[in-house]
């Protein structure tokens, strides 16, 4: 038999059909993201076809190369043997690992002193001190989690007792760095317990210590800095529950820890409760019958506390304003705004009046394809609530008449999760992963002096931002700091490899990595994707990466080096 004929007949053994189709999807998404950002529309063309083929090929190669790299790292060194760096679970080992991580982060802590606060945090602090802000005239609001507002406010108040709120921010920065360092240390130990090689864990530790996004998003005074270490701990506990078929929860103290983490996860981020409920539902299908009641208990108590006790009891008692619905309705609002811009002549006066009640006048002129803030606004009231029913019928009618307009509005909002950065990309930083550090200048918002923050012109944070931006915009930096790579591409890689975990079980592996999957899916209801604010939405994918790539390395790649799908 001739060599060409032999290769043709055995081609199916070397081409992974599943990976081929996944690559086609990823290539199309990347092309759509480019097209919507460059042309503000999606129109089938030869250019999109060729670009899709190119991105598909790149993703296919990315999976094979990354797969082989992880296999080599995992099998290159056993988990046994003595070394000065001990990853076994234990208090002494945790302290040593956490100390190393903290020391590596310490230059950021000292250089950015007294600490970085974000714009959202500024509004939360103004609320805590009963001062006018973007959302209220001084009343506490649940637009941002009240739990986070309380933590930030108490630290600034503590600082004021010693002469300046700046002291409180610096103390928060140090404590948060210590806590997150300890959580990462525990995560590394658990990775070792899972069966990761020492080399893989050392690489993960180097990533945690030196990848600049990790420390800079850990030490800032922003709600994500509280949420992220909790999410890592919750993900570890979730993994333990899946691996033990639920017997982990039969121990009362472990059940209590899982419950506390579930509640804290829901209190520190709006999407936290959806993650908890989703995980509880998934766990019901993978645990033994005797653990089901404890899963239901965890989910029920979390919903009772966060979904009922807080909004219906605590908020009224303490006169806390409930957060508006505009955040969860950002996507349909953007679609309506695009509809009015492109097909405004088809909307009658009655429909326009109803839309204006919710979105305000001149919606079409305020429409920004890549950010929903100009359209949705920041305030919700009873008038908007009453118009929501009629508005929903108008929205559905627009969907039937102009589905392509709605699709383009949606992809434009979420384009940064799929569009690959290139040297010619417009506003390339929106496709990369910039950091926010200019919040070291605490005089950037009105009212700062009333809460004990000084008027300063510190530009140290800006220097950090500019330095990292320059690194990211180099040819290598555009690859390593691609927003699409760290969200959609790595998500697709993890899901694909989980589906190949035949020995451990596809369903069980998917259940194990479920926190990462659900966290990614939450990105697709974000009010923006190509902004510095959107970095807060996607940063959990970066923080969870070491844990879940270890799970894939141990459960899938290590067992299936020769299997094709």
Mean pLDDT of all residues in 78-94: 74
85-89, 463-467, 523-527, range with the lowest pLDDT:
85-89
Tell me, yes or no, whether 90 and 212 share the same domain. yes
Two tokens at 196? 């990761």
Of 258 and 506, the structure prediction assigns the larger pLDDT to 258
CB contact at 8 A, 523 and 538: yes
Residue 395 lies in a domain: yes
The whole-angstrom separation of Cα 522 and Cα 344 is: 31
Tell me, yes or no, whether 217 and 87 share the same domain. yes
The whole-angstrom separation of Cα 37 and Cα 517 is: 26
Mean pLDDT of the residues in the chain:
91
Work out the percent of the chain whose per-residue pLDDT is above 90: 80
Residue 509 scores a pLDDT above 70: yes
Tell me, yes or no, whether 71 and 86 share the same domain. no
CB contact at 8 A, 70 and 500: no
pLDDT of residue 559: 54
Tell me, yes or no, whether 70 and 87 share the same domain. no
pLDDT of residue 563: 46
The whole-angstrom separation of Cα 297 and Cα 533 is: 35
Residue 6 scores a pLDDT above 70: no
pLDDT of residue 511: 96
Mean pLDDT of all residues in 380-396: 90
Residue 374 lies in a domain: yes
pLDDT of residue 504: 74
Residue 444 lies in a domain: yes
Cα dihedral 173, 175, 178, 180 sign: negative
- Tell me how many degrees the CA angle 71-73-78 measures, rounded to the nearest 5: 100
Residue 267 lies in a domain: no
Residue 312 lies in a domain: no
The range of the structural domain enclosing residue 14 comes to: 3-75
pLDDT of residue 455: 79
Tell me, yes or no, whether 33 and 97 share the same domain. no
Block residue for tokens 């029920």: 300
Residue 342 lies in a domain: yes
pLDDT of residue 211: 97
Our count of domains for the chain comes to 3
Reported as a single tens digit per residue, the pLDDT across 325-356 is 888 899 999 999 999 999 999 999 999 999 99
Q: How confident is the model at residue 8 (pLDDT cuts 50, 70, 90)?
A: very low
Half-sphere exposure of 564 (CA within 13 A, CB side): 8
Tell me, yes or no, whether 135 and 209 share the same domain. yes
Collapsed DSSP state (helix, strand, coil) of residue 393: helix
The whole-angstrom separation of Cα 484 and Cα 33 is: 10
pLDDT of residue 456: 75
Tell me, yes or no, whether 153 and 63 share the same domain. no
pLDDT of residue 88: 86
Residue 487 lies in a domain: no
Mean pLDDT of all residues in 523-529: 95
Domain boundary among 75, 95, 126: 75
Q: How confident is the model at residue 82 (pLDDT cuts 50, 70, 90)?
A: low
Among the listed residues 518, 498, 497, the one whose alpha carbon sits nearest the alpha carbon of residue 508: 498
Reported as a single tens digit per residue, the pLDDT across 398-447 is 999 999 999 999 999 999 999 999 888 888 999 999 999 999 988 888 99
Residue 226 lies in a domain: no
Tell me, yes or no, whether 204 and 124 share the same domain. yes
Under DSSP, the state recorded for 117 is B
Tell me, yes or no, whether 467 and 405 share the same domain. no
Tell me, yes or no, whether 215 and 96 share the same domain. yes
Tell me, yes or no, whether 66 and 165 share the same domain. no
In this structure, what is the dihedral angle of CA atoms 47, 48, 54, 59, given to the nearest 10 degrees?
A: 170
Of 458 and 494, the structure prediction assigns the larger pLDDT to 494
The whole-angstrom separation of Cα 227 and Cα 148 is: 9
Two tokens at 539? 């940063």
84-93, 120-129, 334-343, 353-362, range with the lowest pLDDT:
84-93
Tell me, yes or no, whether 16 and 116 share the same domain. no
Reported as a single tens digit per residue, the pLDDT across 219-235 is 999 999 999 999 999 99
Domain boundary among 44, 75, 106: 75
Reported as a single tens digit per residue, the pLDDT across 446-463 is 999 999 998 777 788 999
Reported as a single tens digit per residue, the pLDDT across 182-210 is 999 999 999 999 999 999 999 999 999 99
The winner for highest mean pLDDT among 300-304, 364-368, 499-503 is 300-304
Two tokens at 88? 């076994």
pLDDT of residue 222: 96
pLDDT of residue 44: 87
pLDDT of residue 565: 45
Residue 564 scores a pLDDT above 80: no
């Amino acid at each position: 038999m001739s060599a060409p004929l032999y290769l043709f007949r055995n081609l199916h053994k070397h081409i992974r059909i599943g990976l081929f189709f996944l690559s086609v999807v990823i290539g199309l998404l990347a092309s759509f993201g480019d097209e919507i950002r460059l042309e503000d529309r999606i129109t089938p063309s030869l250019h999109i076809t060729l670009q899709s083929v190119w991105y598909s090929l790149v993703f296919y190669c990315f999976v094979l190369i990354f797969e082989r790299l992880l296999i080599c790292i995992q099998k290159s060194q056993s988990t046994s043997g003595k070394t000065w760096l001990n990853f076994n679970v234990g208090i002494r080992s945790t302290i040593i690992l956490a100390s190393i991580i903290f020391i590596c982060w310490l230059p950021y802590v000292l250089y950015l002193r007294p600490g970085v606060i974000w714009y959202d945090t500024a509004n939360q602090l103004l609320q805590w001190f009963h001062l006018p802000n973007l959302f209220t005239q001084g009343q506490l609001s649940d637009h941002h989690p009240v739990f986070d507002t309380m933590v930030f406010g108490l630290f600034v108040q503590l600082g004021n007792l010693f002469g300046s709120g700046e002291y409180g921010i610096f103390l928060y920065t140090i404590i948060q760095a210590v806590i997150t360092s300890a959580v990462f240390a525990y995560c590394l130990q658990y990775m070792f317990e899972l069966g990761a090689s020492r080399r893989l864990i050392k690489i993960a530790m180097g990533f945690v210590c030196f990848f600049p996004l990790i420390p800079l998003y850990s030490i800032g005074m922003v709600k994500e800095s509280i949420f992220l270490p909790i999410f890592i701990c919750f993900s570890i506990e979730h993994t333990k529950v899946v691996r033990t078929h639920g017997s982990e929860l039969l121990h009362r103290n472990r059940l209590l820890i899982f419950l506390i983490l579930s509640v804290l996860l829901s209190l520190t981020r709006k999407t936290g409760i959806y993650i908890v409920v989703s995980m509880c539902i998934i766990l019901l299908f993978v645990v033994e019958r005797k653990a089901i009641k404890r899963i239901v208990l965890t989910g029920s108590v979390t919903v009772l506390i966060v979904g009922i006790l807080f909004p219906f009891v605590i908020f009224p008692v303490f006169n806390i304003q409930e957060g508006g619905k505009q955040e969860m309705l950002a996507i349909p609002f953007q679609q309506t705004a695009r509809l009015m811009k492109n097909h405004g002549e088809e909307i009658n006066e009655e429909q326009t009046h109803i839309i204006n009640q919710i979105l305000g006048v001149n919606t079409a002129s305020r429409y920004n394809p890549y950010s929903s803030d100009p359209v949705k606004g920041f305030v919700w009231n009873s008038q908007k609530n009453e118009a929501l029913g009629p508005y929903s019928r108008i929205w559905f009618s627009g969907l039937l008449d102009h589905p392509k307009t709605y699709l383009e509005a949606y992809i434009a909002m979420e384009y940064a999760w799929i569009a690959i950065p290139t040297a010619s990309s417009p506003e390339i930083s929106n496709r990369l992963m910039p950091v926010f550090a200019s919040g070291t200048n605490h005089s950037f918002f009105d009212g700062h002096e009333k809460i004990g923050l000084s008027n300063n012109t510190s530009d140290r944070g800006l220097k950090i931002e500019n330095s990292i931006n320059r690194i990211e915009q180099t040819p290598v930096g555009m690859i390593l700091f691609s927003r699409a790579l760290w969200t959609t591409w790595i998500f697709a890689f993890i899901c694909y490899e989980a589906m190949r975990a035949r020995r451990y079980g596809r369903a069980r592996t998917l259940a194990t990595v479920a926190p990462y999957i659900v966290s990614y899916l939450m990105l697709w209801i974000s009010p923006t994707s190509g902004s510095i604010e959107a970095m807060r939405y996607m940063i959990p994918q970066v923080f969870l990466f070491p844990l879940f790539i270890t799970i894939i390395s141990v459960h899938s790649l290590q067992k299936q080096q020769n299997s094709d799908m």
